[in-house]
Structure 1
Amino acid sequence: MISEAVREVREFSKRTGVDKKRILVLFSGGKDSSLALYLLKRAGLDVSALTFFHRWSWRETLNWAMGFTKKLGVKHYLVDITDGLIREATGRKGPVCINCKKVMLWNAKWFALNNGFEVLAKGDNANDKIIGALLDQCKGDIRLCDIPRIGIPFFRPLIRYTAEEVEKLAEEAGIRPYRMYEHARRRQWREGCPLQYIDREEIVTEELMDLAFKVNYEVSKIARAKKVRVSVRVPSFEVMCWDCNEETLGEIKRIVPRFGGKEGEASARKAEE
């Protein structure tokens, strides 16, 4: 499958002229963006990686991402968006992700334009398509989108692959990102950052952002040891888990009092298939 995927990227790039342009991949260090970067590099394209981080980002996944690009032989740029995220997210209701994506998109645009990159690339797969989203307003082949509002085309080499196919391709390529064992929002491995676990109706503050990071970092230690997926919403301290038994749930809920909650007040919800 990998050889065929590389061939498709190479042929599409030659047909569209992308093979003669400098490409900047928005690289989170997750499986999708890692696979996209891998395919573009294997296809012989002029590709670099751009990773955004903030003070609540998981350092373990960032370290893994840096090791991956070094092994791949790809130049890797790191940009701290803490100030922009605070400006866009605090004082508003969650989820924080909406505001964070806005900050990343516009920072990516200007970073690319100011550093001579002609194409931005993303790891979106077929399961990521959202009707009405900016990148789904493309005309023609949705793998390459010219969006006047952005001013730079987007290349999405995985957009025709389902999440399951991406999993198989990544496994064949030996791509195994570092996992924090988050609950995430889908059954597929879709981790992000702890700020997504701020309760939806809460007004976002730096204090809540700090709390979301601290409690979920501690929970991740148990999740990794037990090989289950767990996250905690704040400030409700709702425990969300995949595949937890009662013993593991109890161990996780005992962490709550360390961060200002009361063990008896914390609710727990087992996620179902």
Structure 2
Amino acid sequence: MIERAVEDIREFSEENGLYERRILVLFSGGKDSSLALYLLKEAGLDVSALTFFHRWSWRETLNWAMGFTKSLGVEHFLVDVTDGLLREAVGRKGPICINCKKVMLWNAKWFALNNGFDVLAKGDNANDKIIGALLDQCAGDIRLCDIPRIGIPFFRPLIKYTAEEVEALAEEAGIRPYRMYEHARRRQWREGCPLQYIDREETVTPELMDLAYGANYEISKLARRKKVRMSVRVPSFEIMCWDCDGEALSEAREVISRFMGGKE
């Protein structure tokens, strides 16, 4: 499967002049973006990685991402978006993922344009929702989109692969990202950052962001030890877990009791 995927990218890249362009991959360190980066590198494209992080990002996944790009011999840029995220998110209703994506998209655009990159690449697969997004403006093949509003083309080498196919390709390539054992918002491994667990309709504050990080960091350690997927919403302290038994839930309640401040 890997050989076929790499060959498909080579053929598409030759047809669309991508070998004459510098490509910057928006690289989270998750399975999709890791596979996209790996395939583009294997196809012989001029590719670099860009990772955004903020004060509440998981440091473990960032460390894994840095090791992965080093193993590929890929140039890797790290950009701290804490200040921009605070400006966009504080005072708004949670969760803040949409605000964070906005900050990252526009930072990616200007980083690419200011540093001589011609194309941005993403790890979107066929299961990702794209209706209503900027990338719906694609006039032709959805793998490569020229978006006037953004001002730089987007390349999505995995967009025609299902999530299951991406899993199989990543396994064949030996790509096994560090897991925080988050519950996530979908059954598939779709981890992100702890700020996604701020309760909906809750007004976001820096203190609430700190709470989301602290509580979920401790819960993730329990989840990893129990080999279950678990997260906690804040400030409601609702525990979410895949495959938890009574013992795991009891230990989780003990963990979050330290963050509840007397709340029952």
Alpha-carbon contact 1:124-1:156 (below 8 Å) kept: yes
Does residue 175 of the first structure (1) align with residue 182 of the second (2)? no
Structure 2 matches for 1:106-255, cutoff 5 A? Answer: 106-255=106-255
Matched residue pairs, number? 264
Compute the displacement of 1:120 (Å). Answer: 0.1
Alpha-carbon contact 1:256-1:262 (below 8 Å) kept: no
Alpha-carbon contact 1:237-1:261 (below 8 Å) kept: no
Residue of structure 2 in register with 1:12 after alignment = 12
Compute the displacement of 1:130 (Å). Answer: 2.7
RMSD: 0.8
Alpha-carbon contact 1:56-1:209 (below 8 Å) kept: yes
Separation in structure 2 between the aligned mates of residue 262 and residue 42 of structure 1, nearest angstrom: 54
Separation in structure 2 between the aligned mates of residue 201 and residue 261 of structure 1, nearest angstrom: 21
- Counterpart AA for 1:116: G
Compute the displacement of 1:175 (Å). Answer: 0.1
- Counterpart AA for 1:110: W
Secondary structure of the residue aligned to 1:128 is: coil
Separation in structure 1 between the aligned mates of residue 129 and residue 8 of structure 2, nearest angstrom: 20
Structure 1 segments, 4+ long, off by >3 Å, are: none
- Counterpart AA for 1:107: N
Residue of structure 1 in register with 2:46 after alignment = 46
Alpha-carbon contact 1:61-1:178 (below 8 Å) kept: yes
Does residue 79 of the first structure (1) align with residue 82 of the second (2)? no
- Counterpart AA for 2:67: G
Residue of structure 1 in register with 2:26 after alignment = 26
Residue of structure 2 in register with 1:271 after alignment = none
Secondary structure of the residue aligned to 2:127 is: helix
Gap change, CA 1:102 and 1:58, over 3 Å in 2:
same
Separation in structure 2 between the aligned mates of residue 130 and residue 23 of structure 1, nearest angstrom: 21
Alpha-carbon contact 1:120-1:154 (below 8 Å) kept: yes
Separation in structure 2 between the aligned mates of residue 75 and residue 256 of structure 1, nearest angstrom: 40
Secondary structure of the residue aligned to 2:93 is: coil
Separation in structure 2 between the aligned mates of residue 186 and residue 261 of structure 1, nearest angstrom: 30
Q: Which ranges of structure 2 fall in alignment gaps of 5 or more residues?
A: none
Separation in structure 2 between the aligned mates of residue 262 and residue 43 of structure 1, nearest angstrom: 56
Alpha-carbon contact 1:199-1:233 (below 8 Å) kept: yes
More displaced 10-residue stretch of structure 1: 108-117 or 124-133: 124-133
Separation in structure 2 between the aligned mates of residue 132 and residue 260 of structure 1, nearest angstrom: 38
Structure 2 matches for 1:60-99, cutoff 5 A? Answer: 60-99=60-99
Compute the displacement of 1:261 (Å). Answer: 4.6
Alpha-carbon contact 1:230-1:239 (below 8 Å) kept: yes
Separation in structure 2 between the aligned mates of residue 121 and residue 141 of structure 1, nearest angstrom: 14
Separation in structure 1 between the aligned mates of residue 27 and residue 262 of structure 2, nearest angstrom: 38
- Counterpart AA for 1:242: W
How big is each residue's C-alpha offset from its partner over 1:199-231, in whole Å with a ceiling of 9 and x where there is no partner? 011000000000000000000111000100000
How big is each residue's C-alpha offset from its partner over 1:179-216, in whole Å with a ceiling of 9 and x where there is no partner? 00000011110000000000011000000000000000
Q: Which ranges of structure 1 fall in alignment gaps of 5 or more residues?
A: 266-273
TM-score by length of 2: 0.99
